[in-house]
Chains A and B, each alone.
Chain A
């Protein structure tokens, strides 16, 4: 009812408004964004949007801070269901499949067609590793904004103290376990310093488990189809057992679940010597770490591979044509080479556009901060971030079980069997509608 009346009014307004008048009017749109790191980023984003509003007269953007990644998804979807879809949302890059299947976000192909360009031409300047997460079922649904991969951070002073060479950080799991053993400091039964630590809270753990299973030759999920994950597999089992061993056999990692904030704090305090953390934290670590540190690739067991993380810009269904045009215009500005480069230097995320790195400002920045280059060098080994039907719930199915394992309540093989079972149940409705729907 309300939809119909809204369309009616929209049509009426369109037919009544003379074209030159409509073109002169300013379009107001809303832009939802989460704050992935800290308050500083929210202020910087607000500043960016203000400068955009000042730079032109056609579009006025209201920047709406919307909590964490999950809160942002919840708010955007609730607003859309209530009939007030946001024009543009900065959404966790792996929510696209889910949001497309629920009919919330729109294909960006019509925008490309209107500009007489192709998807290939549009994506050419973006790093190849990002293309998969930008598309759903072969169509462009999102524009990458800031991206990350996991990275191994290590304390250089601790390395020297333990007789390890800080210019040769561990490259394989064997070297990692060996270094962690040497770095762990014990006082009787008490551990004073752990060799290795990583965040195991929701969202982060799933992403790092993908990093480990990829490094072990695995895949985590079916990149071509949203109804399949590979939890109960040899590659994932190896990854889970590796963690289990670091905690319970080698005792070089603390038992239990540490959130990201606790992990970086332990690293700063010298209570942990190596950590697996996002490249998105680089600026934060650089500003706060008092001891010398360095970064390295995520160590491999079978091959070098890491998942992409970060966020991309999407547009919601149910907007007026004017709002769509304004939103697309804003997206193009936000994802321009310069804006992305500036945001990357401010945050530590890497810029999704290759051309951002050809600017003088970026070259100077990388010369001054060589750790930013390691993140970039790892990019050729990057794979898409897991994205399935009901992504969040399917991810939690694994995280809950791995957390139980890290607490010593379950063995790795049992944990993965249970996780697989739960994930399969969650994806069942989609699977029944697609691959199990037979003639």
Chain B
């Protein structure tokens, strides 16, 4: 009599426990974000005494957002960041798919050696390249311009690697069929391979967009003109305090302003992002 009910109870208990555990972990993980959200609406006076509290204060205020907005021309920063991110991605899509194709499908002497040499770039710490890159950018006449910010990223070792793996995972039958029908190499890439490699490209796009959206050091090095600042530099104007205190509310509001577009895009296309990561997994 009691056993079946106990078993049923257990069957229900475990999923419930698991859900509770996951919720607890999710809460822990989301705490910084929650705090940012709460702090950004907290009036300035309370901002110092109760700044660590996760509970929203009454009354709420938009003052912090106004202060953050007044700290810089955010509209301009958004536009500049967008130009950099989209510009880099557009060029990268061409370079990484062509390079990935070359490493995956063409055979030429030294191909593998070249590929590994290419991958070695991933091992270099970016700050080590600042001076040489800056010198090149100055010589190209791109110092203090947005193309100067983008230039070093036009080729991407990670993207090339990802696209090579994606192409390798595709069966050759389709290309061979197209080749028999007389399609030239570029038509094969454009009409046959790229549509099938879309998940790989999307996965790469996410990585590239987040990385360049958040990048601080290199834009700081290249850009002098305040009208060409990107979001991260604008934000840094009130986060990098050396000797003073911090206005947590304004800081939180500024952080939200910077991350909002990315967060909105991610929530809107979450399903597709996750799918693309699942599908782009290299077959074992």
Contacts and interface: CB of A to CB of B under 8 A. Distances in A.
Interface of A: 2, 30, 34-39, 42-43, 46, 62-69, 71, 74-75, 78-79, 81-84, 148, 203-204, 260-261, 264-265, 268-270, 278, 280-281, 284-285, 288-290, 309
Given A62-B225, A64-B226, A67-B220, A204 B243 contact: yes
24 contacts: A2-B139, A35-B238, A36-B241, A37-B241, A37-B242, A38-B246, A39-B72, A39-B250, A42-B71, A62-B226, A65-B229, A65-B237, A67-B240, A74-B217, A78-B130, A78-B134, A79-B221, A81-B135, A83-B135, A260-B245, A265-B245, A268-B49, A269-B49, A281-B244
A204 B241 CA distance: 11
Contacts, number: 129
Interface string B219-251: 011001110010001001110111111111010
Nearest to A349: B243
B48 A288 contact: yes
B279 to A, nearest CB: 40
Given A34-B242, A83-B135, A270-B49, 7 more contacts: A38-B247, A67-B240, A74-B217, A260-B245, A269-B49, A269-B50, A278-B243
Nearest to A83: B138
B220 A288 contact: no
Contacts of B246: 38, 261, 264-265
A343 B242 CA distance: 17
A346 to B, nearest CB: 12
Given A269-B50, A288-B48, A38 B244 contact: yes
Interface centre among A43, A63, A82, A290 (most CB of B within 10 A): A82
Interface in B48-81: 48-52, 71-72
A2 B135 CA distance: 10
Contacts of A148: 243
Contact of B226 (A63, A82, A203): A63
A269 B51 contact: yes
A30 B143 CA distance: 13
B243 A281 contact: yes
Contacts of B245: 37-38, 260-261, 264-265, 268, 281, 284-285, 288
B243 A78 contact: no
A36 B244 contact: yes
Given A36-B241, A260-B243, A261-B245, A82 B49 contact: no
B250 A290 contact: no
Contacts of A290: 45, 48-49
Interface in B188-245: 216-217, 220-221, 224-226, 229, 233, 236-238, 240-245
B96 to A, nearest CB: 27
Contacts of B138: 82-84
Contact of B220 (A69, A75, A264, A269): A75
Given A84-B143, A265-B245, A281-B245, A64 B224 contact: yes
Contacts of B248: 265
A344 to B, nearest CB: 14
